[in-house]
Amino acid sequence: MLEIKDLKFRYSRKSPVVLDGVNLTLKKGEVGVVLGKNGSGKTTLFKNILGIEKPEAGTIRFEERDLSEVSSKERAKLIAYVPQDITMAELTVFDTVLMGRMPYFGFRSAKEDEEVVWKVLSDMGLSNLASRNADELSGGEKQKVVIARALAQEPGLMVFDEPTGNLDIANEQLILKEARRLSKEKNISILTSLHDLNQALEIGDRFFFMKDGKIKYSGGKDMVTAEVIKEIFNADVEIIEHDGRLIVMSGKSMKPSPRGEGGCEAAG
């Protein structure tokens, strides 16, 4: 379980407060989606969880351990990160995924590490790409390789920052489905930010709405209401049920907009 209590953070003593008492709980095997406008602090929250930034106050515990007392190597065994912008080194897909095993080996990988890599590649349907150069793959393939690298870490928690950012719709769906499958099959908790409220509803078990450096609302799907979206994003939406699924639609009074405010995506 991930348990964040009263987390406070600012980038420097003179800069404004970015996280102002964040509280968040995510159980094992659950997918949590953090939603909020651009600049509401989602990436900053993730950086604190990963130890890239240090909180001013508050605690982050994962699987009963206070993360401030865990070394970065140990932390890398617990938590894997799939960043927003993917840059691939000039390595093969196999070696890229093997990098995920680094917290487990010193200078040389062991046979067991390579076995883990082959297993992850096979699970992700990437075995046939193992010897290809990772920087020459398509956007969707790169995204899968980065997820595979995170999985090779055998983490208990995976943190995704806008995982569908640069993907086409087919790859968006693939990544979301894959992430949810992994969380359920391997009992991994996933915390992700997402731009698109419909994608959020598709993948999420828990929803965390961020505003003014706080989680203003959190809960299951029933927490995703037009009122909450209005307050958090200042966008008018309608939520309809279709085939047992909730769908967020732009409000009738809104001007048509393919993306962003007024569309079925909210700024964030």
CA 167 to chain centre: 15
Name which of 100 and 268 has its Cβ closer to ligand ADP.
268
**Contact (Cβ atoms closer than 8 angstroms) between residue 160 and residue 179:** yes
Q: Residue 143 is which amino acid?
A: Q
CA dist list (Å): 226 to 12, 46, 47, 233, 256: 36, 26, 29, 10, 18
CB 25 to ligand ADP: min, Å? 20
Sequence-separated (6 or more) residues with CB below 8 Å from residue 71 = none
Choosing from 6, 11, 115, 118, the residue that interacts with ligand ADP (CB under 6 A) is 11
d(CA 170, CA 151): 22
Nearer to ligand ADP, 18 or 148 (CB): 18
- Contacting ligand ADP within 14-73 (CB under 6 A): 15, 18, 36, 38-44
CB of 17 to ligand ADP, least distance (A): 10
User: Least separation, in Å, of the C-beta of 11 and ligand ADP?
Assistant: 4
Cα–Cα distance for residue pair 222/220, rounded to 1 Å: 5
Query: Which CB sits closer to ligand ADP, 84 or 257?
Result: 84
Based on CB atoms, which residue is closest to ligand ADP, 167 or 266?
266
Least separation in angstroms between CB 36 and ligand ADP = 5
**Cβ–Cβ under 8 Å, residues 242 and 220:** no
Type of residue at 127: S
Q: Which is nearer to ligand ADP, 40 or 183 (CB)?
A: 40
- Both tokens of 71, joined, read 């070394």
Write down the least CB distance from residue 135 to ligand ADP, Å.
26
Query: Is 138 a residue that touches ligand ADP (CB under 6 A)?
Result: no
**Least separation, in Å, of the C-beta of 12 and ligand ADP?**
7
**In whole angstroms, how close is the CB of 18 to ligand ADP at the nearest point?**
4
**Min dist. Cβ of residue 252 to ligand ADP (A):** 28
> Residues in contact with ligand ADP, total (CB under 6 A)?
11
Q: Which stretch binds ligand ADP (CB under 6 A): 10-18, 62-70, 125-133, 198-206?
A: 10-18
**Residues numbered 197-256 forming contacts with ligand ADP, rule: CB under 6 A:** none
**Which one, 50 or 98, has the nearer CB to ligand ADP?**
50
Closer to ligand ADP at the Cβ: 38 or 234?
Answer: 38
Question: Interface residues with ligand ADP (CB under 6 A)?
Answer: 11, 15, 18, 36, 38-44
